[in-house]
Structure 1
């Protein structure tokens, strides 16, 4: 009796986790994982994008090279349609490498900085003056113009290492990078230095976008490595009057024509309804953009390649979209949604991968409660593959976000976040820091979600 009871419990467990052989969805999902893990091209494609093309800041020659290569790649897989969608994008260039140092105790200490994307340059001779450390905008306001005017403001609020989800820690700290130049200019500052957005203490500055208020003076803004931020902070405690110097050579050029790159497999039953899966093709200029977001773009291509390789006939049209200019403008995502509205396209669902090529954990859902419940009903299948972090909230992605106004259900692919900000926007975001198996598992997870939505619907 004990043996029979044990066998019965095993059978029930197999059924409730989706492993039961008669579950057709589970069988197809198993084949998806086998295809990606055994025959997947996502890792070798990422290698080509990183090593043969490299950094892909919007408006650059490399960004255009990436457009042309990605189109050719999707054509080589025989997708039903591959095309380019025009979009005007910003064109900012870093110029010669930045220089920075501070002087204290008769010594000059060199530090690593990187201009923030969109920043104006310093003068040719650079800026040298006293520097004042603050940790938030309230403190800046308390100090006021009397103590800030003519100085460099040093924003040194770290990402909170006690926060479990690093994207939450990033969100709580990043306003000093994005808006720091605006807030400091209100009180007469002549420059801004911002602690890099990472919990890792190293010598690599992390760039990223920043903004200006056209009504205020535009002052040069740079990120400083966390290691040097700590050194500068310590030095200020013993020598508050120390001088800081930095020189930047960046410039903003006129907008240029670029493209979203789109490949699709036409739906067999409801081709007018579209499931979009994508990431952004552009990257910052300091490195290869392997995690941000070469991983997401190549995973999206892999989703369509896998569907075609397995002979799956999707009911809805499935698109892979390589968005351009997420990093410093989101022009690609805005253009995609604008075009969808003008042409009355029905965007049923959209999935974005822009959180790195790390171990998959699940998906965030930005949709109705009914859609969330529908997705959660597939938890037995997701659980088999470690996709346990699934639910509403958390946002889905900046490129697909504009589709929400069209009634599209939005999903964000969520890999493990603990190492992502070690590389994010820094020199270390290179192919060597992407694990092949983790990248493939992410592509398979995305293909699984696309398949389940396509075959079962969201209602």
Structure 2
């Protein structure tokens, strides 16, 4: 009898025996011995590189992931058209202290923020005024007029969850230029969003208010932010030169890339698992979010290699344009609603390819209780946090359609060393940690497609 069950277990298209512990162990064993995630990420990072929406590299990444999923024999692979913003950096970004009585001229490590309006080729010079976040700007008020506003609120080092620390400080990056422009500022400098003091500048998205002028906005490294702050304490008329040639070139056609394995019993119930294919135009987008994309593809590949046929449809989605617009996630949700598709769960990996320790989620009490009830299946793999609130940016637009939104929750301590920087390269990803994340996502998809949620 045991021999017969073993044969049935391996035959393609045969429904799974209800032994969750053994099946989950099969997932981890396969990924940790014969996984493809790491080598697929290597190609994405090294042969294609960074992938800002609208760039040739983004187009190459679309074609690569389409062909990759087709090569694995998924039931359906297709491109979903989406219009995305096309912003280009346009040249070297510069921030330079020009009149320090103590140090003279000092070049700072800088990156223009995404979607920023450039200074033009001549740059601009202005006096600097320091504030602690958006609250500090409001307190300064008209004192910002004609000045370059320097936002210097650090990420809170006492927050063990670094994503909480990021959330507490990132408002000055996302809205800093728009808010400073209301008070007549001519430019903005933002302390990089990092929990480490170093010389690496971090870019990231920022949004303008259409009712006020679009002023240039650049980030400087945390170490340079500390230096600038100290110099301002000694010299209130400190001046800084800014130069950025960033330019928004309208919208261009791009694609979400989608592959799926149809469910054998309830094909109309969809489990989406994915990451965002675009990345910033520095580094290689390895942790953010090449890792998540390759982990999502690996979920379906593992099913194919094990010869498993899911009860419900599993769909891998490579969303485009999370970084500077979220147009891919919004379009995916719009099309799903228009088609009347029923997503029961959406899982996103967009917190880096680090050691997985759990899953975050947003959903009903019933949905989240079901997720938490599976904890014992994951604890043998040191994955134990299943009650963390959260989800993911690209899956957020699906929320009003009723699925539980789930995010892979890795250890977050190193993420903001690499996030949105030139240091986010393939070599920064550990193979075993990446593969453990892919296996964890596959195990969760397996439980959902077998039991529902």
SS at match of 2:442: helix
SS at match of 1:51: helix
> 1:172 aligns to what?
168
Q: TM-score, normalised by structure 2?
A: 0.95
> 1:271 aligns to what?
267
> 1:205 aligns to what?
201
User: Equivalents in 2 of 1:334, 1:60: separation in Å?
Assistant: 20
User: Equivalents in 1 of 2:311, 2:328: separation in Å?
Assistant: 27
2:121 equivalent among 95, 119, 124: 124
Alpha-carbon deviation of 1:23?
7.3
Give per-residue Cα distances to partners, 1:51-108, cap 9 Å, x unaligned: 0000000000000000001000000101111100000000000011112210302611
Q: Say whether 1:49 aligns with 2:16.
A: no
User: Which range moves more in the overlay, 179-188 or 319-328?
Assistant: 179-188
> 2:8 aligns to what?
none
2:24 equivalent among 4, 24, 29: 29
Compared CA separation, residues 136 and 254, structure 1 to 2 (3 A): closer
Alpha-carbon deviation of 1:242?
1.4
Alpha-carbon deviation of 1:124?
2.0
Alpha-carbon deviation of 1:136?
2.5
2:326 equivalent among 326, 330, 333: 330
Alpha-carbon deviation of 1:392?
5.1
> 2:135 aligns to what?
138
Q: TM-score, normalised by structure 1?
A: 0.93
Aligned residues: 435
Alpha-carbon deviation of 1:187?
1.1
SS at match of 1:36: helix
> 1:318 aligns to what?
314
User: Equivalents in 2 of 1:34, 1:243: separation in Å?
Assistant: 59
Q: Say whether 1:115 aligns with 2:93.
A: no
User: Which range moves more in the overlay, 133-142 or 41-50?
Assistant: 133-142
Give per-residue Cα distances to partners, 1:138-168, cap 9 Å, x unaligned: 32222221x2211100000000111110000
Give per-residue Cα distances to partners, 1:281-327, cap 9 Å, x unaligned: 00000110000000000000000000111111100110000000000
> 1:90 aligns to what?
85
User: Equivalents in 2 of 1:137, 1:261: separation in Å?
Assistant: 37
Give per-residue Cα distances to partners, 1:209-232, cap 9 Å, x unaligned: 001111111110011111111111
Q: Say whether 1:386 aligns with 2:397.
A: no
User: Equivalents in 2 of 1:286, 1:137: separation in Å?
Assistant: 27
SS at match of 1:441: helix
Q: Say whether 1:299 aligns with 2:295.
A: yes
RMSD (Å) for aligned C-alpha atoms = 1.1
> 1:15 aligns to what?
none
Alpha-carbon deviation of 1:182?
1.4
2:276 equivalent among 270, 274, 280: 280
SS at match of 1:132: strand
> 1:9 aligns to what?
none
SS at match of 1:380: helix
User: Which range moves more in the overlay, 22-31 or 81-90?
Assistant: 22-31
Verify the 8 A CA contact 1:291 1:429 in the aligned structure 2.
yes
Compared CA separation, residues 177 and 67, structure 1 to 2 (3 A): same
1:38 equivalent among 33, 36, 47: 33
Verify the 8 A CA contact 2:48 2:57 in the aligned structure 1.
yes
User: Equivalents in 2 of 1:127, 1:392: separation in Å?
Assistant: 45
Write out the 4+ residue segments of structure 1 that deviate beyond 6 Å after TM superposition: none
Verify the 8 A CA contact 2:75 2:260 in the aligned structure 1.
yes
> 1:362 aligns to what?
358
Alpha-carbon deviation of 1:111?
0.5
Alpha-carbon deviation of 1:198?
0.2
2:144 equivalent among 148, 153, 166: 148
Alpha-carbon deviation of 1:240?
1.3
> 1:13 aligns to what?
none
**Structure 1, gaps ≥5 residues long:** 1-21
| Alignment of structure 1 residues 184-195 onto 2, 5 Å | 184-195=180-191
User: Equivalents in 1 of 2:333, 2:134: separation in Å?
Assistant: 34
